[in-house]
A and B are shown apart, each in its own frame.
Chain A
Amino acid sequence: MTEALLLQGRWWNAAGRRFRHNGLACTALALLTLLMLAALLGPWLSHWRFDSLDWQHLGQPPGGGGHWLGTDRLGRDLLVRTLYGLRLSLLVGLLASSVSLVIGVSWGALAGFSGGRVDGWMMRFVDVMYALPYLFVVIILTTLFPRGSLTVLLVALGAVGWLTTARIVRAQTLALKQREFIDAARVSGVSGAGILRRHVVPNVLGPVVVYATLVVPQMILAESFLSFLGLGVQEPQASLGSLVYGGAQEMESAPWMLLVPASVLVLLLLCLNLLGDGLRDAFDPRDS
């Protein structure tokens, strides 16, 4: 078994080598790591908490009163709040993407591999889900359940995110099903489930991993959007989206309140998208 793992590792090594030759993607990965570290450790290193109020410095511009990036109207440290919001955005983005990937890959691979009527019904279900106006669904969910619940947010985002993954995986599976190595496995006596697990899913994972890096920013953006509408994270909690929303209201008098979280959000999304591009190139051996 360890031998098999080592061999599997070699394939990843080749992809890793191609990735390392891509300067832009590597920079993006480094920046992303920095952002993640900052999001994890940053709030602890400061003596301000995300919800502690500094009555002496209300609406302090950056640099004054021991607040590097200033404070908001209530005197809360903007740096700490932004890092805290980054943490929440990343958490939501990663969790929602994982949920949507697991559901999407299983659904798509099963539908594509089964074919026929099963495939038809499974994909019609996807079509119906697509046709639902997802914002309404989210709004209904958030009114049914306590507002600002992280679980509701994850369910709402995950419920929509997996649809595209399922379609991509199904298309890939249909193409794979035509390949002779699937017949070869069948002739060897491998069961349907075995073929799906061992030959289909690993072969669709390459494109899916790449797609995932593009789903994460989508999810972060969607979360920001929901928070911006006031449907997501609730005060005093903060996500990048809710901070941008707060900043937008004070844009004229305190522009830093918008600029700081907005810049972090743009930087995060840019890094994730560049990383996705780099991974796509790395996983496609034909390009080298």
Chain B
Amino acid sequence: MPSTRVTAEQAPRAPLLSLERLSVTFATPAGAVEAVRAVSLAVAPGECLAVVGESGAGKSQLFLAALGLLPATAQVSGSACFNGCELLGQPARALDRVRGAGIGMVFQDPLTSLTPHLTVGAQLCEVIRAHAPRARHAAAARALALLQRVHLPDAEQRLGQYPYELSGGMRQRVGIALALAGDPQLLIADEPTTALDVTVQAQILALLLELRASSGLALVLISHDLGVVAGLAERVLVMRAGRVVESGAVGALLAAPHDPYTQELVRAARALGDAAAPSPPCAGSAPELLALEQVAVRFARRAGLRGAPLAALSDVSLALRAGEALGIVGESGAGKSTLARAALALLRPAAGRVVWLGREPQLLPRAQLRALRRDVQLIFQDPLGSLDPRLTVGEIIAEPLAVHGEPEAPGARVNAELLRVGLDPQLSQRYPHQLSGGQCQRVGLARALVLKPRVLVCDEPLSSLDMQTQEQMVQLLGVLRAEHALSLLFISHNLALVRRLCARVLVLYLGRMMELAPAAALYERPLHPYTRELLAAIPSTDPQVEPGRLRQVRPGEAPSPQSPPSGCVYRTRCAYALPLCAERVPVWEDSGAGRALACLRWRELP
């Protein structure tokens, strides 16, 4: 193994945090599992180090071990020094002085890392007063200052709100404020943007960049995505299977990666982040397989809550032709999953029609609908959750065959299907929890394909997978689509991914259609201001471009679909909004060349 040490030559200042041959071993019934193997690293004051690797590479374990946050089944050896003090083996009380006050931590999931029954203000004050005893009102004032420092809108009002009342991006800002409450010298951010939309991700990264610049905070950024770290980090450490495989300055590492694994990561990040990748051509006049006509979906409020039902989808029309791939993009809350469920006749629209191959599934008797379902299949966002934990892979894939009365030789069909999605047929005896996320997603794909459907609806199928696995799945979907004349309805919040797979793209915002255009044209010349914002938020792997891009990130998040703005729903975030936009609802109009959009001002925009 080449030297895994990033030592004083590269970081001339005395390190703030230094890990020396840190190893973490978990005792499991199946034997000891080495999660981290003798990793050494140093973080200098004010420096930003990125730790990159796939899930299970030991990135998080490394820092959790240093902070004494691992469960008792973990054995930690080596050394972890913060400001010259050894952290390993210290009693909890000594560690409490370092945790929070010396080192702050930001977690991946901003909802689960906040206590649900305490207000934002109470949580902040608790941390503030734990580190420096002060009067209640002084703590409250500091809490407010912290929230303002992380640019939480309406900070004063937020102090009295509960975590569930905030959006994902706001929660992550509160998470960062919590980490800053003890005035740490080092902030460890563990996948801080993985659970967030691409636009919000850019905002959070911009915030971290600003905090570093303004207060000289050292930052450790843990991520599976090289593109995310390129704009922030000075040095990158690539980990795989508990070891450091490569480390170096971000520019050099991205320009000339040495280790084959790093090369693969860089390639994957480039391929997905590259907005100039070719898109498949549009299908001309092939027959329509799946169509939504003026579909609206409303959800009733829960009992006890008054008010109009929540409009999850309003006036959405689309047509998917044979062999075509149509992308649906938008942030969370845009109604993408609702659209998928409506398209699959899993829920009943409040208005409008869903048409499959010229027939309306909602009007069919149940038995006929079930028979028709074989042509329209679905793959899900959560690879593990979409597989019944009590059934083996073989049983899962064979189930649709049995349902549709094709029980002949299911074993052979299952094996053929597993091979088709690139899995070893021997896996058919395994249970879902024994597989990796990527393997589970392939099983889900095999189950969808075993009936030889004509339409495949993909609901964020890649967002919970590693970069590398995402890239493999994209290639697989591309191949399957070409080989079997599949039509894809591909739903994602990742514009770059959609671009690679889809000929046409529909942009949704708060359940309404914003823009529909051929992929190439949309990416080259986005007309709608919202599309422009989405495109600008894609992280780039170029460390020269990235910091500049992050400084220009626009603030603001999607309002709650429970109370959409009047007029054009996007106007509250739009850079070009006029008073007129609050009064008139833009109509869906054709802008030529197979494009259409809903914007009052698109003709006048620069």
> Which residues of A pack against B, CB within 8 Å?
3-4, 7, 10-11, 18, 21, 179-181, 183-191, 194, 198-199, 202-203, 285, 288
> What are 25 residue pairs bridging A and B, where the CB atoms are less than 8 Å apart in the complex?
A3-B411, A4-B395, A7-B429, A179-B385, A180-B381, A180-B382, A181-B385, A181-B387, A183-B378, A183-B386, A184-B378, A184-B387, A184-B447, A186-B346, A187-B376, A187-B377, A187-B448, A188-B373, A188-B377, A188-B400, A189-B373, A190-B370, A191-B370, A285-B433, A288-B28
Q: Are B388 and A190 in contact (CB under 8 A)?
A: no
B374 within 8 A of A: yes
**A188-B451, A189-B404 known; 4 other A-B pairs, CB under 8 Å?**
A181-B385, A184-B380, A189-B371, A198-B399
B523, CB-defined interface residue at 8 Å: no
Q: Are A202 and B378 in contact (CB under 8 A)?
A: no
- Inside 8 A of B399's CB, which chain A residues have their CB? 185, 188, 190, 198
Q: When the two chains form the complex, which single residue of A11, A180, A189 contacts B385, counting CB atoms closer than 8 Å?
A: A180
Chain A residues with CB under 8 Å of B395's CB are 4, 7
**Cβ distance B447 to chain A, nearest Cβ, rounded Å:** 7
Distance to closest chain A CB from B341 (angstroms): 8
Instruction: Check: B287 CB closer than 8 A to any chain A CB.
Output: no
Residues from chain B with a CB closer than 8 A to the CB of A186 are 346
CB pair B403–A181 under 8 Å, yes or no, is no
User: Are A184 and B444 in contact, CB atoms less than 8 angstroms apart?
Assistant: yes
Note all chain B residues with C-beta closer than 8 A to A198: 388, 399
Closest-CB distance, A182 to chain B (whole angstroms): 8
Most-contacted residue by chain B among A187, A189, A203 (CB, 10 A) = A187
Cβ-defined contact, A183 with B392, below 8 A:
no
Q: For residues 430 through 465 of chain B, which have their beta carbon under 8 Å from a beta carbon of chain A?
A: 431, 433, 444, 447-448, 451
B residues bordering A, Cβ < 8 Å? Answer: 28-29, 341, 344, 346, 366, 370-371, 373-374, 376-378, 380-382, 385-390, 392, 394-395, 399-400, 403-404, 411, 429, 431, 433, 444, 447-448, 451
Q: How far is the CA of A202 from the CA of B447 in the complex (A)?
A: 20
Q: Are A203 and B378 in contact (CB under 8 A)?
A: no
Q: Is the contact region of chain A dominated by helix, strand, or loop, or is it mixed?
A: helix
* Docked-complex contact B378 and A187, CB < 8 angstroms: yes
| Chain B minimum-CB-distance residue to A200 | B388
Whether the Cβ atoms of A187 and B344 lie closer than 8 Å is yes
B388 and A181: CB pair below 8 A?
Answer: yes
Assembled-state Cα–Cα distance A185/B444 (Å)? 11
Known: A11-B431, A21-B29, A203-B388. A189 touches B370 (CB 8 A): yes
Query: Could you say which residues of chain A place their CB within 8 Å of the CB of B385?
Result: 179-181
B405, chain A: closest CB distance, angstroms: 10
A186 CA to B386 CA, complexed, in Å: 11
Q: Which residues of A contact B429 (CB under 8 A)?
A: 7, 10
Taken together as a complex, chains A and B put the C-alpha atoms of A18 and B28 apart, in Å, by 12
A195 to chain B, nearest CB (A): 10
Are the C-beta atoms of A190 and B403 separated by less than 8 Å?
Answer: yes
Question: CB-nearest residue of chain A relative to B401?
Answer: A188
Residue contact B373 to A184, C-beta cutoff 8 Å = no
Q: Chain B contacts of A3 at CB under 8 A?
A: 411
A181 touches B386 (CB 8 A): yes
A4 to B428, CA, bound (A): 11
- The contact of B346 among A4, A7, A183, A194, by CB within 8 Å, is A183
Checking A21, A183, A189, A202 against B380 with a beta-carbon cut-off of 8 angstroms, the contacting residue is A183
Q: Is the CB of A288 within 8 A of B29?
A: yes
Query: When chains A and B are docked, how far (Å) is the Cα of A18 from the Cα of B29?
Result: 9
Q: Roughly how many angstroms separate A285 CA and B390 CA in the complex, as a whole number?
A: 12
C-alpha gap A202/B388 in the complex (Å): 10
Q: What are the 10 A-B residue pairs with the smallest beta carbon separation, nearest first?
A: A180-B386, A188-B400, A189-B370, A189-B373, A180-B380, A181-B388, A180-B385, A189-B403, A202-B390, A187-B378
A21: B residues at CB distance < 8 A: 29
In the complex, the answer to whether B389 meets A189 with C-beta atoms within 8 Å is: no
Contacts of A183 in B (CB 8 A): 341, 346, 378, 380, 386
